[in-house]
Structure 1
Amino acid sequence: MITYHLLTPHSPAWATAASQIGAIDWPAGGHLAKLMQTATWQPWERVVYATDNGQLVGCCALMAEDIVPDTPYSPFVSTVYVNPDYRGQGISLHLVQQTETAAQAAGIDGLYIVTRHVGLYEHLDYELIDQRNDQFGRLNRILYKQL
């Protein structure tokens, strides 16, 4: 059974989540894990951490900044990841919805997503508002949703 956890740096599962997220085979996982271990988090920033019997199923984060530098946009749904064994079950969309709920609870009225995917987040009513290069020089789509 998949369990969704809404984590802050004060959560008991924070260190375990950072370790598991850092071990995924995607560079963004290592980046998020490093931020979890070293960055100062805003009071409203969160990590949504999905597990199945204590093992990482997926994650995403509610963050002030993402990989596209020097934008007027904030806050972001960032680092949406689902373990390959669990893909195709709608988990990524559920992770984003959990992040939206956390944002609303913090008084946030809109979220951005930086992605190269086409069609995934549009199912949750995100709309393309811009395209910009990320810190690696890759062209990304910037989507927005009013909450």
Structure 2
Amino acid sequence: MITLKTLTPASSLWTTAATQIGAISWSAGPHLAQVMTTVTWQPWERVIYATDGDRFVGCCALLANDIVPATDYTPFISTVYVDPTYRQRGISLKLVQTAEQAAVAADITGLYIVTRHVGLYEHLDYQLVDQQDDQFGRPSRILYKALNKNHSFTNSDNLTKKQ
């Protein structure tokens, strides 16, 4: 059974999660693991950690900053990852929705996602607001979704670009 846990640096699973996330073959995993172990986290920042029993199967993070360095956009859902053997089961959707719920609980009214994919997050009501190169020089899309406390995370939201 897939279990999602919302972690902070004070969580007992933090070090284990950082180690497992750091072992992901996708370069974003080691980057997030480094952030987990070397950066001071804001009180509302979180890692959403998915497991199947003791096996790590996926993650994402709710962060103040992501890989687009010259922007005033904040906060972000970052590093959405699902182990290839667990894909096509809706886990990434659950990871993002759990991060959205953590954001709502922290009184965050909107979230950004940096991606190079087209169509992956739009079905979750994220809308394109900008395009910029990320810190690696890759062209990236910046998507935004407005949140509210009564949001069901399945209905369309109106776009409000953060100023």
Q: TM class by shorter-chain length?
A: over 0.9
Distance 1:91 1:141 in 2: 22
Aligned to 1:112: 112
Cα deviation digits, residues 104-131 of structure 1 (max 9, x gap): 0000000000001111111110000000
Matched residue, 2:157 = none
Q: Deviations over 1:80-120 (max 9, x none)?
A: 00000001111111100000000000000000000011111
> 1:45 is matched with which residue?
45
The answer to whether residue 41 in structure 2 is matched with residue 23 in structure 1 is no
Indicate the residue corresponding to 1:138 in structure 2.
Answer: 138
Aligned-residue sequence identity (percent) comes to 70
* Cα distance in structure 1, aligned partners of 2:65 and 2:143: 14
TM-score by length of 1: 0.99
Which runs of structure 2 are paired with 1:1-147 in the superposition (5 Å)?
Answer: 1-147=1-147
Corresponding residue pairs, total: 147
Residue identity matched to 2:37:
Q
Q: Which of the two has higher C-alpha Rg?
A: 2
| Structure 2 gap segments, 5+ residues each | 148-163
Query: Shift of residue 53 of structure 1?
Result: 1.1
Counterpart secondary structure, 1:96:
helix
Structure 1 gap ranges (5+): none
Q: Given residue 2 of structure 1, which amino acid in structure 2 is its aligned partner?
A: I
What is the distance in 2 between the residues matched to 1:90 and 1:71? 31
Structure 2 CA distance, aligned partners of 1:58 and 1:69? 25
After the TM superposition, which segments of 4 or more aligned residues of structure 1 sit over 2 Å from their partners? none
The two structures, once aligned, show a CA RMSD in angstroms of 0.5
Residues 60-80 of structure 1, C-alpha deviation per residue, up to 9 Å, x if partnerless? 000000000110100000000
Distance 1:72 1:21 in 2: 27
Separation in structure 1 between the aligned mates of residue 33 and residue 106 of structure 2, nearest angstrom: 23
Alpha-carbon distance in structure 2 between the residues aligned to 1:76 and 1:28: 14
